[in-house]
Amino acid sequence: MKQFYGSAAFFYLLLIGFAAYSVYYLWKVFLFVKGNLDARKRYKEKYGTEGMRNVNQFWGWGALYTAMILYCIYAGATIQSTDEQAAWFRMAFLFVGLILFGQMFVMIVKRSAVIGRDAFVFEDAVIPWRNVLSMDPKQKGLQRIVEMQTAQGKYILSREMGLVFHDAYEAWRKAKKEKKGKK
């Protein structure tokens, strides 16, 4: 059995398995990002661009992900070929870099939104403000999050995104009350 783990066949078997998983994962990430772009397009068609604002809170995390991806590329490229395990390390750095690349796009979608007067876009959904049922701040491990329950489902926001959404929701409620008061 030890000979099998050290053989080239085992290496290529793992290489094919990791490559297949990476392709599958990146395809799912592509569909997730495409869903977000389609939702933004639907929002613009239905509500227009007046009063619309983009909320982007991914810059810090994006820089960190980019640094880690660049490190994976650098580490994979500079491994000494004389090392017995060089091929294994190159494979590991390559696939970790690919997974981080996909995670970076997931993070960008989850930390950006379109907020308008009547609705907002988050992930792959256009959600009218009237469909928001609750926004509950919670502590999840060391991280503070906001669970937003809507008629379409439950969404988990970062604390900062939750504050932006809460302020926009309160502005919508205030405008709705003022509109009712004028009638």
Determine the Cα angle at 75 with ends 73 and 77, to 5°.
65
pTM: 0.85
Longest dimension (CA), the chain: 83
Confidence of residue 5 (pLDDT cuts 50, 70, 90): low
Q: Which residue has the higher pLDDT, 104 or 87?
A: 104
Q: What is the CATH number of domain 113-183?
A: 2.30.29.30
Looking at residue 58, its amino acid is F
Average pLDDT, the chain: 91
How are strands ordered across the β-sheet holding 132-140? Answer: 132-140, 143-150, 153-158
